[in-house]
Amino acid sequence: MSTLEEQIDIDVPAKVAWDCLHRVEDYPRFVGGVRDARTEGLHRAHLAIDAGDRVYEVDAEILDRGQGRLMMWRTTNGARLQGTFSVLPLDPEHTRVQVRVQYDPDTVKETFGGPKGFAQAHAIERLVREDLQQLKDLAEEAE
């Protein structure tokens, strides 16, 4: 498994950032490649992901830990991915969101295509950074 960790500071209270992460239906607005997303029950989400010329249907389990500070997720079908979002208040009006993603490079390549090795890690890192920037924009717009 490979691990990627990134973070971004957002100019909103922690609760606003937390709420943005939990609105699954808004994932297409800030998660690259997500065409459609919906909640399915208390701790499940279903996502339709564009990858090249194909759409992949992915189910995920989402669990909250740490009293509004840590959201854990993992896919339950398709490419095996898992990770966490940590929401860390810096002060009453500023929050740091940290993301950690664990993935198997070979499985990601087989499922979604794209580069392999270092190029793949670089591409995933770039996508996660873009997603965090879009989350920041969305959260600050909602505030």
Asked if residues 60 and 43 have their Cβ atoms less than 8 Å apart, the reply is no
Distance CA 132, CA 101 (A): 13
The interaxial angle of helices 14-22 and 118-142, nearest 10 deg, is: 120
Distance CA 1, CA 3 (A): 7
Number of Cβ within a 10 Å radius of residue 65: 11
Long-range contacts of 86-94 (CB under 8 A, 24+ apart): 87/14, 87/17, 87/18, 87/21, 88/14, 89/13, 89/14, 90/9, 92/13, 93/11, 93/12, 93/13, 94/9, 94/10, 94/11, 94/12
Global pTM reads 0.87
Asked if residues 89 and 83 have their Cβ atoms less than 8 Å apart, the reply is no
The interaxial angle of helices 118-142 and 105-112, nearest 10 deg, is: 80
At position 14, the amino acid (one-letter code) is: A
pLDDT given for residue 59 in this prediction: 95
Q: What is the pLDDT along the chain (143 residues), one digit of tens a residue?
A: 889 999 999 999 999 999 999 899 999 999 988 999 999 988 999 999 887 788 889 999 999 876 779 999 999 997 788 999 999 999 999 999 999 999 877 776 666 666 555 556 677 788 899 999 999 999 999 87
